[in-house]
Amino acid sequence: MSTPVLLVIAHGSRDPRHAATVHALVRRVRALRPGLRVETGFLDFNIPSARGVLESLAAEGVRDVVALPLLLTRAFHAKADIPAVLQGAPQQLRISQADVLGPAPLLLRALERRLYEAGLTPADKSSTGVVLASAGSTDPEAIAVIAAIAREWRHTGWCAVRPAFASAGSPAGFARTEDAVRELRALGCERVAVAPYVLAPGFLPDRIARGAAQADVLAEVLGAAPEVARVVLERYDDGASVHHARLAATA
Protein backbone atom coordinates (compact mmCIF):
# COMPACT_ATOMS: atom_id res chain seq x y z
CA MET A 1 0.00 0.00 0.00
CA SER A 2 1.45 3.35 -1.05
CA THR A 3 2.40 6.06 1.42
CA PRO A 4 -0.13 8.90 1.15
CA VAL A 5 1.08 12.32 0.13
CA LEU A 6 0.78 14.87 2.93
CA LEU A 7 -1.08 17.97 1.78
CA VAL A 8 -0.76 20.77 4.32
CA ILE A 9 -3.69 23.16 3.90
CA ALA A 10 -3.09 26.62 5.32
CA HIS A 11 -5.55 29.49 5.60
CA GLY A 12 -3.63 32.02 3.54
CA SER A 13 -3.24 35.76 4.01
CA ARG A 14 -2.54 38.98 2.12
CA ASP A 15 0.39 39.42 4.50
CA PRO A 16 3.45 37.86 2.81
CA ARG A 17 4.85 36.83 6.19
CA HIS A 18 2.06 34.27 6.51
CA ALA A 19 2.99 32.22 3.44
CA ALA A 20 6.71 32.56 4.21
CA THR A 21 6.13 31.12 7.69
CA VAL A 22 3.99 28.27 6.36
CA HIS A 23 6.68 27.33 3.84
CA ALA A 24 9.37 27.45 6.54
CA LEU A 25 7.31 25.08 8.68
CA VAL A 26 6.78 22.70 5.78
CA ARG A 27 10.52 22.68 5.06
CA ARG A 28 11.09 21.63 8.67
CA VAL A 29 8.49 18.86 8.31
CA ARG A 30 10.25 17.60 5.18
CA ALA A 31 13.59 17.63 7.00
CA LEU A 32 12.14 15.51 9.80
CA ARG A 33 10.66 12.96 7.36
CA PRO A 34 12.84 12.98 4.20
CA GLY A 35 11.01 10.11 2.50
CA LEU A 36 7.59 11.72 2.77
CA ARG A 37 6.20 13.85 -0.03
CA VAL A 38 4.77 17.04 1.48
CA GLU A 39 2.81 19.59 -0.53
CA THR A 40 1.35 22.92 0.53
CA GLY A 41 -1.92 24.52 -0.55
CA PHE A 42 -3.85 27.57 0.65
CA LEU A 43 -7.55 28.22 1.09
CA ASP A 44 -7.36 31.85 0.08
CA PHE A 45 -5.08 34.74 -0.95
CA ASN A 46 -1.94 32.66 -1.69
CA ILE A 47 -0.90 30.20 -4.36
CA PRO A 48 -0.91 27.36 -4.94
CA SER A 49 -4.51 26.85 -3.91
CA ALA A 50 -5.38 23.61 -2.13
CA ARG A 51 -7.77 22.79 -4.96
CA GLY A 52 -5.05 23.37 -7.54
CA VAL A 53 -2.58 21.12 -5.72
CA LEU A 54 -5.15 18.33 -5.59
CA GLU A 55 -5.75 18.64 -9.32
CA SER A 56 -2.00 18.55 -10.00
CA LEU A 57 -1.56 15.45 -7.83
CA ALA A 58 -4.37 13.69 -9.68
CA ALA A 59 -2.82 14.64 -13.05
CA GLU A 60 0.45 13.02 -11.90
CA GLY A 61 -1.34 9.80 -11.07
CA VAL A 62 -1.19 10.15 -7.30
CA ARG A 63 -3.94 8.17 -5.61
CA ASP A 64 -3.64 8.60 -1.84
CA VAL A 65 -3.59 11.88 0.06
CA VAL A 66 -3.82 12.87 3.72
CA ALA A 67 -5.01 16.48 3.90
CA LEU A 68 -3.92 18.20 7.09
CA PRO A 69 -5.55 21.49 8.17
CA LEU A 70 -2.78 23.80 9.37
CA LEU A 71 -5.08 25.10 12.08
CA LEU A 72 -4.92 25.13 15.86
CA THR A 73 -8.62 24.53 16.55
CA ARG A 74 -11.55 22.79 14.88
CA ALA A 75 -13.58 25.78 13.77
CA PHE A 76 -15.29 26.82 10.54
CA HIS A 77 -12.32 26.30 8.21
CA ALA A 78 -11.71 22.75 9.43
CA LYS A 79 -15.39 21.85 9.58
CA ALA A 80 -16.66 23.48 6.39
CA ASP A 81 -14.12 25.12 4.08
CA ILE A 82 -11.58 22.31 3.89
CA PRO A 83 -14.15 19.48 3.58
CA ALA A 84 -15.76 21.42 0.72
CA VAL A 85 -12.41 21.64 -1.08
CA LEU A 86 -11.75 17.93 -0.56
CA GLN A 87 -15.21 16.95 -1.75
CA GLY A 88 -14.57 18.84 -4.98
CA ALA A 89 -11.25 17.10 -5.64
CA PRO A 90 -10.74 14.80 -8.64
CA GLN A 91 -12.57 11.54 -8.07
CA GLN A 92 -9.52 9.32 -8.59
CA LEU A 93 -7.95 10.72 -5.41
CA ARG A 94 -8.52 8.85 -2.17
CA ILE A 95 -8.34 11.57 0.47
CA SER A 96 -8.48 11.47 4.25
CA GLN A 97 -8.65 14.63 6.36
CA ALA A 98 -6.34 14.61 9.37
CA ASP A 99 -7.11 16.36 12.64
CA VAL A 100 -6.15 19.96 13.33
CA LEU A 101 -2.96 20.53 15.29
CA GLY A 102 -4.38 21.52 18.65
CA PRO A 103 -4.64 20.85 21.41
CA ALA A 104 -1.34 19.02 21.94
CA PRO A 105 1.27 18.95 24.72
CA LEU A 106 3.95 19.75 22.17
CA LEU A 107 2.21 23.02 21.35
CA LEU A 108 2.42 24.07 25.00
CA ARG A 109 6.13 23.31 24.85
CA ALA A 110 6.38 25.46 21.74
CA LEU A 111 4.57 28.31 23.50
CA GLU A 112 7.05 28.11 26.36
CA ARG A 113 9.95 27.97 23.90
CA ARG A 114 8.77 31.24 22.40
CA LEU A 115 8.41 32.86 25.83
CA TYR A 116 11.93 31.81 26.83
CA GLU A 117 13.28 33.05 23.50
CA ALA A 118 11.61 36.40 24.32
CA GLY A 119 13.55 36.68 27.58
CA LEU A 120 11.80 34.69 30.30
CA THR A 121 13.44 31.83 32.17
CA PRO A 122 11.91 28.81 33.93
CA ALA A 123 12.66 30.56 37.23
CA ASP A 124 10.24 33.34 36.21
CA LYS A 125 7.20 31.09 35.89
CA SER A 126 5.75 31.38 39.37
CA SER A 127 5.82 35.19 39.27
CA THR A 128 4.69 35.65 35.65
CA GLY A 129 1.12 35.88 34.39
CA VAL A 130 0.60 34.78 30.80
CA VAL A 131 -1.99 35.92 28.29
CA LEU A 132 -2.78 33.06 25.91
CA ALA A 133 -3.72 35.21 22.93
CA SER A 134 -5.70 33.40 20.25
CA ALA A 135 -6.86 34.83 16.95
CA GLY A 136 -10.46 34.15 17.94
CA SER A 137 -13.50 32.16 16.86
CA THR A 138 -17.25 32.04 17.28
CA ASP A 139 -17.23 28.23 17.23
CA PRO A 140 -18.16 26.83 20.67
CA GLU A 141 -15.77 23.88 20.32
CA ALA A 142 -12.83 26.13 19.47
CA ILE A 143 -13.69 28.50 22.32
CA ALA A 144 -13.83 25.62 24.80
CA VAL A 145 -10.46 24.31 23.61
CA ILE A 146 -8.72 27.67 24.14
CA ALA A 147 -10.19 27.96 27.63
CA ALA A 148 -9.09 24.40 28.46
CA ILE A 149 -5.55 25.04 27.22
CA ALA A 150 -5.29 28.10 29.46
CA ARG A 151 -6.45 26.08 32.48
CA GLU A 152 -4.03 23.27 31.72
CA TRP A 153 -1.10 25.63 31.19
CA ARG A 154 -1.79 27.38 34.48
CA HIS A 155 -1.14 24.09 36.29
CA THR A 156 2.43 23.91 34.95
CA GLY A 157 3.59 26.62 37.35
CA TRP A 158 2.70 30.03 35.94
CA CYS A 159 1.34 32.69 38.30
CA ALA A 160 -1.82 32.79 36.18
CA VAL A 161 -2.90 32.21 32.58
CA ARG A 162 -5.72 34.12 30.93
CA PRO A 163 -7.13 33.42 27.45
CA ALA A 164 -7.74 36.36 25.13
CA PHE A 165 -9.14 36.71 21.62
CA ALA A 166 -7.98 39.19 19.00
CA SER A 167 -10.90 39.08 16.58
CA ALA A 168 -13.66 41.65 16.77
CA GLY A 169 -16.24 38.90 17.15
CA SER A 170 -14.76 37.50 20.35
CA PRO A 171 -17.30 35.63 22.46
CA ALA A 172 -18.63 36.89 25.76
CA GLY A 173 -16.31 36.12 28.64
CA PHE A 174 -13.10 36.39 26.60
CA ALA A 175 -11.04 39.51 27.07
CA ARG A 176 -9.02 41.33 24.45
CA THR A 177 -5.27 41.02 24.83
CA GLU A 178 -4.88 44.45 26.46
CA ASP A 179 -7.71 43.72 28.93
CA ALA A 180 -6.14 40.41 29.93
CA VAL A 181 -2.80 42.17 30.49
CA ARG A 182 -4.48 44.64 32.83
CA GLU A 183 -6.29 41.82 34.63
CA LEU A 184 -3.04 40.00 35.34
CA ARG A 185 -1.46 43.23 36.59
CA ALA A 186 -4.39 43.72 38.96
CA LEU A 187 -4.04 40.13 40.11
CA GLY A 188 -0.56 40.95 41.38
CA CYS A 189 1.63 39.03 38.93
CA GLU A 190 5.16 40.43 39.05
CA ARG A 191 5.41 40.46 35.27
CA VAL A 192 3.02 39.83 32.40
CA ALA A 193 3.85 37.97 29.20
CA VAL A 194 1.77 37.55 26.04
CA ALA A 195 2.02 34.24 24.18
CA PRO A 196 0.34 34.34 20.75
CA TYR A 197 -1.40 31.04 20.12
CA VAL A 198 -1.23 31.54 16.37
CA LEU A 199 0.82 29.85 13.69
CA ALA A 200 1.91 32.70 11.45
CA PRO A 201 2.10 36.51 11.32
CA GLY A 202 -0.77 38.50 9.89
CA PHE A 203 -3.54 40.96 10.69
CA LEU A 204 -4.80 39.36 13.92
CA PRO A 205 -1.32 38.55 15.29
CA ASP A 206 -0.45 42.22 14.71
CA ARG A 207 -3.54 43.15 16.73
CA ILE A 208 -2.31 40.83 19.51
CA ALA A 209 1.05 42.61 19.43
CA ARG A 210 -0.62 46.00 19.75
CA GLY A 211 -2.66 44.70 22.68
CA ALA A 212 0.56 43.56 24.34
CA ALA A 213 2.00 47.08 24.45
CA GLN A 214 1.76 47.22 28.26
CA ALA A 215 3.07 43.67 28.82
CA ASP A 216 6.65 42.98 29.87
CA VAL A 217 7.21 40.22 27.32
CA LEU A 218 5.72 39.47 23.91
CA ALA A 219 6.59 36.12 22.39
CA GLU A 220 6.79 35.39 18.69
CA VAL A 221 4.10 33.35 16.92
CA LEU A 222 4.53 29.58 16.95
CA GLY A 223 5.72 29.57 13.35
CA ALA A 224 8.19 26.90 12.31
CA ALA A 225 8.99 25.77 15.84
CA PRO A 226 10.27 22.17 15.83
CA GLU A 227 7.47 21.14 18.16
CA VAL A 228 4.89 22.32 15.64
CA ALA A 229 6.56 20.30 12.88
CA ARG A 230 6.44 17.22 15.09
CA VAL A 231 2.73 17.73 15.73
CA VAL A 232 2.16 17.98 11.97
CA LEU A 233 3.79 14.57 11.53
CA GLU A 234 1.85 13.09 14.45
CA ARG A 235 -1.41 14.21 12.87
CA TYR A 236 -0.28 12.88 9.50
CA ASP A 237 0.62 9.49 10.96
CA ASP A 238 -2.76 9.23 12.65
CA GLY A 239 -4.50 10.26 9.45
CA ALA A 240 -2.49 7.79 7.38
CA SER A 241 -3.40 4.95 9.75
CA VAL A 242 -7.09 5.77 9.41
CA HIS A 243 -6.66 6.08 5.65
CA HIS A 244 -5.05 2.63 5.33
CA ALA A 245 -7.66 1.07 7.62
CA ARG A 246 -10.45 2.53 5.53
CA LEU A 247 -8.94 1.23 2.30
CA ALA A 248 -8.39 -2.22 3.81
CA ALA A 249 -12.01 -2.35 4.95
CA THR A 250 -13.25 -1.64 1.42
CA ALA A 251 -10.78 -3.92 -0.38
The listed range with the strongest mean pLDDT (42-56, 125-139, 160-174) is: 42-56
Cite the beta strand spans of 54-111 per DSSP E.
64-69, 94-97
CB contact set of 159 (below 8 Å; sequence gap of 6+): 125, 126, 127, 128, 129, 184, 187, 189, 190
Could you give the strand order of the β-sheet that contains 5-10, starting from the edge strand earlier in sequence?
A: 38-42, 5-10, 64-69, 94-97
Distance CA 25, CA 19 (A): 10
* Interval 52-62 mean pLDDT: 98
**Predicted confidence band at 76 (pLDDT cuts at 50, 70, 90)?**
confident
Q: Does the structure show a pLDDT above 80 at 245? A: yes
Distance CA 117, CA 169 (A): 31
* Interval 3-14 mean pLDDT: 97
Q: Within 10 Å of residue 158's Cβ, how many Cβ atoms? A: 23
Which amino acid does the sequence have at 13?
S
- Encode pLDDT of 186-237 as tens digits: 999 999 999 999 999 999 999 999 999 999 999 999 999 999 999 999 999 9
Mean pLDDT score of the chain: 95
Residue 137 in 3-state DSSP? coil
Query: Could you tell me which residues are beta bridge partners of residue 67?
Result: 7, 97
Look at residue 2 in the predicted model and tell me its pLDDT. 87
- Encode pLDDT of 9-41 as tens digits: 999 999 999 999 999 999 999 999 999 999 999
* Angle in degrees, CA 194, 102, 244, rounded to 5: 160
Distance CA 236, CA 250 (A): 21
Distance CA 210, CA 107 (A): 23
Look at residue 136 in the predicted model and tell me its pLDDT. 82
Contact 39, 51 (CB under 8 A): no
- Encode pLDDT of 140-171 as tens digits: 888 899 999 999 999 999 999 999 998 765 55
